[in-house]
Structure 1
Amino acid sequence: MLYNWLYPLHTEFSFLNVFRYQSFRIIYAAVTAFLIAFILAPWLIRKLQEIKLGQQIRNDGPKSHLAKSGTPTMGGLLILFAVVLSTLLWADITKPYVWLVLAAMVGFGAIGFADDYLKFIKRQSKGLSASQKFAAQVAIASAIAITLYFLPGYTTKLSVPFFKNFTPDLGWFYIVFAVLVIVGSSNAVNLTDGLDGLAIGPVMITALAYTIVAYVAGHRLMSDYLLIPHIENAGEIAVFTAAILGSSLGFLWFNTYPASVFMGDVGSLPLGAALGTVAVISKHELLLLLVGGVFVIEAVSVIFQVVSFKSRGKRIFLMAPIHHHFEMKGWEEPKVVVRLWIIAILLALLSLSTLKLR
């Protein structure tokens, strides 16, 4: 909104010309989101404590986690608020992509809120059923994918990392593919959110990587030079991913070990969906498998564990997702978190190299 309100005045006040530059707005979206999250977090934590909105810990997990029982959850509300407000302030809100990524964030946030509300406020231990949650996710993701499909100028061609001439056109199947990316990303982040600071670290790293990807994809000269699809106005979603980065930093201040607050489904589901939607809009869907490799590893570990146990009656890991496996082997929680962050950083660097290696 600041861009839409203030930039038109640059002819009278030349210093307002700075709002024209996406790089300026990207930086200040991150800073604004960080300040919102950092300043409001103590107030939110106190409110969550007052209503006794604490996390319930599984008895079959690592025994060290029992001390976390009662830690305030639903802190993802803070991330949601900071991202949405910062994006509205610094992005060009006349661009449809901005509203699509916000719709993903708010829509999946509503699903996560309903699930957390039933579990922690209504004391219904399972919250939303798996089928209810999945159906709601597919419905929102389908609405986003169909909107993209019919947007003028939007292509259904798939960009494949490391290949500059191999861009298969998925046609109408692209809608199904986009839904899989958004829903899969949402649930992968949700599965990763099991240790203090574990999920939010790779979220920040992925958000930073896609800030660069979206900015480059929206820049005609850069995208042409790097031989990647040019997406008109995609640079505006870099403002959104920067807001995710900033709000996540603010949240991490209080979520780092030992955590003062957990994000809950109201945080993990929308963050994953938002990153998936950004990957789809920027036409770097497959790159998400690499840059978000930690999320993929976590999700795959759960799938393998379930399939193995149901088919053979045996477990592959001591406990799934895989971060619990390492805990059960004796790794201390901070060590598991930091090592997975290191892997996330290396995967992000490798993913960014694909912009040039084609």
Structure 2
Amino acid sequence: MLYYLFDYLDKTLDISGTGVFQYITFRSGLAFILSLLLSTIYGKQIIQFLQRQQVGETVRELGLAGQNEKAGTPTMGGLIIIFATLVPVVLFAKLHNIYIVLLIVTTLWMGTIGFVDDYIKIFKKDKEGLKGIFKVFGQVGLGLIVGSVLYFSPAVTVRQDTTTTNIFKVQTENVVAQAPVEEKSTVTTIPFFKNNEFDYAELLAWTGDGYQKWAWLVFIPVVIFIITAVSNGANLTDGIDGLAAGTSAISVFALGIFTFVSGNIIFSNYLNIPYIPNSGEMTVFIAAFVGALIGFLWYNSYPASVFMGDTGSLTIGGIIAVLAIAVRKEMLIPLLCGIFLVENLSVVLQVGYFKYTKKRFGEGRRIFLMSPLHHHYQKKGYHESKIVTRFWIVAIMLAILSIITLKLR
């Protein structure tokens, strides 16, 4: 809202200094600072409220060191992340921007699913929480909304050829061409390859002429799959203090670089990537989100004063997925979110191998001492703070490698 106020003051009253709100970097900086302050200052009050409501974590008997001490620690801490993200976004972002609208919807949608799940676990005393089928329905529903908007909305366009424009309007960082050639497209990018654009519509080329108009039959299911997979991956990663919040902050920061350069025609031209008009505005949301995650870590670092619960983990996964899809970097997710991937794989491999060996040998065998992977290292005797720190280091390495794919082809 402050963006519109200062835009009015700049254009109508011509007050000196008010034009600074046109800059994405300025508003992103303010969003980051405010979200960090909100999450650290008001986070304590939210934790105290959760304690009064007896919103305590029920700990399963896993035989892990220090696990029993966590019983009763407040959960639903994802409310801190959601609150500290949305307030700066509402204040500093362009609320009419289609990408900002999608991200706000994603935050509230996934946050609601996670909240219901946590509510059932805590107040209904059902350790299983929301039944898996309902979670999947919720994730599929969000995927349908996001996929449909990105495919059908006229506000979502891509400009693949940025080399033909010679005249630019360079007043702010929101650089646009005077005569942009923008089009609807299902193009995405394949990392590490030259001429790395891939169009989902090409998968239907075998159907004959006019296949492009049916591209939504491929694009929307892909969006649904990505949102479901990444949100579940984030959920599995939320197992020890600071792991999910820290690794997510690193991945989201990297996505912020992608959104900024993809939304700027000069940078996208230099890096030879598709220019996505208006996508740079997502940088403001990302700055607020990263600030909220870091502020949450103030209370979630070992020993945690609060857990994010599914309210936070599902929201984090959904936001990361939508950001990657919107900026056409979804094929980087296995690399950028490598921690989520290995956590997911460890569970799939563990369960699959156990069932296979039980059927073949009559006794189930395990690949890991325990899954997800972070519990395997706990079983081996590593302290959870050491595990988290090392996972953060790996996440930083993966984020850097993801960023250099902009030039490494």
Normalising to structure 2: TM-score of the pair? 0.86
Equivalent residue in structure 2 for 1:122, among 121, 124, 131: 124
Percent identity of the aligned residues? 43
**C-alpha separation in 1, matches of 2:238 and 2:230:** 13
Aligned to 1:325: 376
Aligned positions of 1:67-86 closer than 5 A: 67-86=69-88
Are 1:356 and 2:386 counterparts? no
Question: How far is the alpha carbon of 1:164 from its aligned partner?
Answer: 3.5
Check whether the contact 1:114–1:128 (CA below 8 A) recurs between aligned residues: yes
Counterpart AA for 2:387: V
What is the SS of the residue equivalent to 2:290? helix
Question: Residues 186-225 of structure 1: CA distance to partner in whole angstroms, max 9, x if unpaired?
Answer: 1101100000001001111011101111000000000111
Aligned positions of 1:1-358 closer than 5 A: 1-11=1-11, 12-152=14-154, 153=157, 154-170=184-200, 171-172=215-216, 173-312=218-357, 313-358=364-409
Quick check: which has more Rg, 1 or 2? 2
Check whether the contact 1:52–1:72 (CA below 8 A) recurs between aligned residues: yes
Moved more, 110-119 or 125-134: 125-134
Counterpart AA for 2:289: I
Counterpart AA for 1:213: F
Check whether the contact 1:4–1:93 (CA below 8 A) recurs between aligned residues: no
**C-alpha separation in 2, matches of 1:227 and 1:303:** 37
**C-alpha separation in 2, matches of 1:61 and 1:88:** 44
Check whether the contact 1:164–1:227 (CA below 8 A) recurs between aligned residues: no
**C-alpha separation in 2, matches of 1:4 and 1:308:** 56
Counterpart AA for 2:97: K
What is the SS of the residue equivalent to 1:168? strand
What is the SS of the residue equivalent to 2:60? coil
Question: How far is the alpha carbon of 1:61 from its aligned partner?
Answer: 4.1
Check whether the contact 1:18–1:24 (CA below 8 A) recurs between aligned residues: yes
Moved more, 94-103 or 60-69: 60-69
Moved more, 250-259 or 131-140: 131-140
Moved more, 251-260 or 10-19: 10-19
Counterpart AA for 1:91: A
User: Residues 74 and 161 of structure 1: is their aligned pair in 2 closer, same or farther, counting only changes over 3 Å?
Assistant: same
Question: How far is the alpha carbon of 1:139 from its aligned partner?
Answer: 1.0
What is the SS of the residue equivalent to 1:247? helix
What is the SS of the residue equivalent to 1:286? helix
Normalising to structure 1: TM-score of the pair? 0.98
What 5-or-longer segments of structure 1 have no aligned partner?
Answer: none
**C-alpha separation in 1, matches of 2:77 and 2:198:** 41
Structure 1 residue runs of 4 or more that deviate by more than 4 Å after TM superposition: none
Counterpart AA for 1:243: A
